[in-house]
Amino acid sequence: MKIMLNGDPTEVAAPLTIGALLVQLDIDPRRVAIEHNLVVLKRHAYDHTTIADGDEIEIVNLVGGGARSIDDHGTA
């Protein structure tokens, strides 16, 4: 079946769940957020959400980090 994966047409075998797609792509489900047909999925739904022909899936990698604190002298 054909899906849109991060904006690119992609062929995948059916039937397939979001969780199985992540396994095929070797993606750690703890490190991504998934949007399926414009709906952001909770992680517990990945293995229960079936992908259908024509579905749109966005996989966004989560990156940790943040701003470093700066002391009173302007140094990090």
pLDDT tens digit string along 31-55? 999 999 999 999 999 999 999 999 9
Distance of CA 73 to the CA centre of its chain: 41
Residue 73 covered by a domain: no
Within-domain flag for 53: yes
Alpha-helix residue ranges (DSSP H) falling in the chain: 18-24
What are 2's strand-pairing partners?
Answer: 11
What is the reported pTM? 0.80
The pLDDT > 70 percentage for the chain reads 86
Question: 40, exposed or middle or buried, with CB in 10 Å at 0-12, 13-18, 19+?
Answer: exposed
Q: Report if residue 54 sits inside a domain.
A: yes
- In a domain, residue 71? The reply is no
pLDDT given for residue 70 in this prediction? 60
The answer, yes or no, to whether residue 9 has pLDDT greater than 60, is: yes
Q: Chain-wide mean pLDDT for the chain?
A: 90
Domain tally for the chain?
1
Tell me which residue range forms the domain holding 28: 2-61
